[in-house]
Structure 1
Amino acid sequence: MSCEQREGGENSQNRKVTDFYPIRRSSRKSKTELKWEQKKLIDDLITNGIEEGMEVQHIEGKGRAVFATQCFQKGDYIVEYHGDLLQITDAKKREAEYAQNPATGCYMYYFQYLCKTYCVDATKETGRMGRLINHSKNGNCQTKLHDINGVPHLILVASRGIDKGEELLYDYGDRSKASIAAHPWLKY
């Protein structure tokens, strides 16, 4: 047998599969690609203030509430808790100002991000729905931090499957005696 035949030349009996079938690449995306695309989609929704799949309704004796107008799967992005992003010292000053007027509701959400304490102050009335989602210890949403270019954004994601027509709820996490005394509904 000649060298050419042994190395897979034209007369070789040992041909490669690719000699008969073209090379095909998978069109499936890697987990990294899928995560990047999902992050980019959420970045765009947050940046553009897009809030879909929800509507505000009035509930007698409760006030405004946000309801799903579509189904959400566990882990789906729901909405941003949108407001002014403050460092803790500025947030405490604002909170003291708000305390002077009992009619001002508390829409301040404190959180830790990269070893710093921040606050999203959503007290100012806007058309955004994240601030209107009510409390429940057994809510169907949960908060999550979402980074866009080093800036933290507080978002709500589905903690379980949510049906169309269901009220969106999350646990505010406030268990202080003073808060529960002022707002007994925090117990539930």
Structure 2
Amino acid sequence: MSEEQPQASSGALRDVGRGLENLPISLWPEGEEPVFQYTPEPVMGPGAETDPTQITFPGCACLTASCLPAACSCLLRGENYDHSCLRDIESEVEFARPMFECNVMCQCSLQFSLQVFKTDKKGWGLRTLDLIPKGRFVCEYAGEILGTLEARRRIQQQTKHDSNYIIAVREHICNGQIIETFVDPTHVGNVGRFLNHSCEPNLLMVPVRIDSMVPRLALFAAKDILPNEELSYDYSGRFHNLTKKNGNQEMSDKHKIGKPCHCGTKSCAAFLPYDSSLYSPLENPTTH
């Protein structure tokens, strides 16, 4: 471990979450502080068609302390996970099924002590101060829900020096249809905005429905994560979501024009994932 690694007692430092999470999120080192508005859950942004805070699913009528998948109207909608753990995290097939949660049961709050810290080459990063067992829910990636045109506009306004927090999640449904969700925590977001990319990540992102069709982007531990270990996920969604035979070889030359990757893993692709669809020309509203 380097001399930068703090002791677990550093949780007494400034709370990045502003008291909005059930556990404080410490900052290390003190002094410089990231500037953004903290929100523990998604908020409606420009171009969003559905308000993520509007309840559109009715609650279940379960009378037990813990809902049963066979009887609960919420859990019947799709595959779920057990006690905040993903089922069979080694199986890629499981992640292709939609996940729904109870409105009251899943209030996606922090279960582990996390810390925002300065990395050597990647700016801000996020690490855990606790041991996180494989399969456990770690945090959400929350921010402004954007429409497609707004997401493209923001992406195309960025310079090579700007950090890109915008994530595009595409879910394939029946008859070749695709549901797209764009989340931007640049100005309004939660602790997930500090997660860096890794070509060998220790987190897996899974879209989970709670109270509407707007998915919540939940991040689960893909393996046992040790205290003071940096948390990361694959920005491209390749990790555990495509067949292993594709791997990092799927990245074509046109995708290697982005920013350099500093994850330092053996399978590092050298460049951060690049979504060319967000760089397509913007529609001119005056021509419609």
Same fold (TM over 0.5): yes
Q: Assess, with a 3 A threshold, how the Cα gap between structure 1 residues 37 and 72 changes in structure 2: closer, same or farther.
A: closer
- Pairing 1:45–2:108 present: yes
Structure number with the higher strand fraction is: 1
Identity of aligned residues (%): 23
Alignment of 1:49-88 (within 5 A): 50=110, 52-88=112-148
| Corresponding residue for residue 260 of structure 2 | 184
| 2:112–2:128 Cα contact (<8 Å) kept | no
Is 2:228 the counterpart of 1:160? no
Q: Indicate the residue corresponding to 1:139 in structure 2.
A: 201
The separation in 2 between residues aligned to 1:35 and 1:168, in whole angstroms, is 21
Q: How many residues align?
A: 156
Contact persistence 2:207–2:215 (CA under 8 A) = yes
Output the amino acid matched with 1:184: P
1:52/1:74 CA distance change after superposition, 3 Å = closer
CA displacement 1:14-71 (0-9 Å, x = unmatched): xxxxxxxxxxxxxxx786389587545873135xxx5742101112333221111111
Question: Secondary structure at 1:94's aligned position in 2?
Answer: helix
Change (3 A) 1:120 1:138: same
Unaligned runs of 5+ in 1: 1-28
Q: Which amino acid aligns with 1:104?
A: D
Give me the whole-angstrom Cα distance separating, in 1, the residues matched to 2:260 and 2:169. 23
| Contact 1:55/1:66, CA 8 A, preserved across alignment | yes
Letter of the 1:187 partner, please give it.
A
Confirm or deny: 8 A CA contact 1:45 1:51 kept in the other structure: no
> One-letter code of the match for 1:86?
L
Partner of 2:166: 108
1:1-16 aligned at under 5 Å gives the runs none
Deviates more, 1:72-81 or 1:170-179: 170-179
TM-score, normalised by the number of residues in structure 1:
0.67
Deviations 1:73-98 (A, max 9, x none): 222111111111123233222222x3
Pair 1:173-2:249 in alignment: no
32-41 vs 51-60, greater mean Cα deviation: 32-41
Closer, same or farther: CA 160–37 of 1 in aligned 2, 3 Å? closer
Could you tell me which amino acid in structure 2 is paired with residue 169 of structure 1? S
Alpha-carbon distance change, 163 to 76 in structure 1, aligned in 2, over 3 angstroms: same
Assess if the C-alpha contact under 8 Å between 1:66 and 1:132 holds in 2.
yes
Amino acid at match of 2:169: F
1:18 maps to none
Q: Contact 1:142–1:157 at 8 Å: present in 2 too?
A: yes
Q: Secondary structure at the match of 1:112?
A: strand
1:22 match: none
Quote the Cα distance in structure 2 between the aligned partners of 1:63 and 1:90. 26
Q: For structure 2, which runs of at least 5 residues remain unmatched after alignment?
A: 1-65, 73-79, 85-100, 238-250, 262-267, 271-288
TM-score using structure 2 length = 0.46
What do you get for the CA RMSD once the two structures are aligned? 3.2
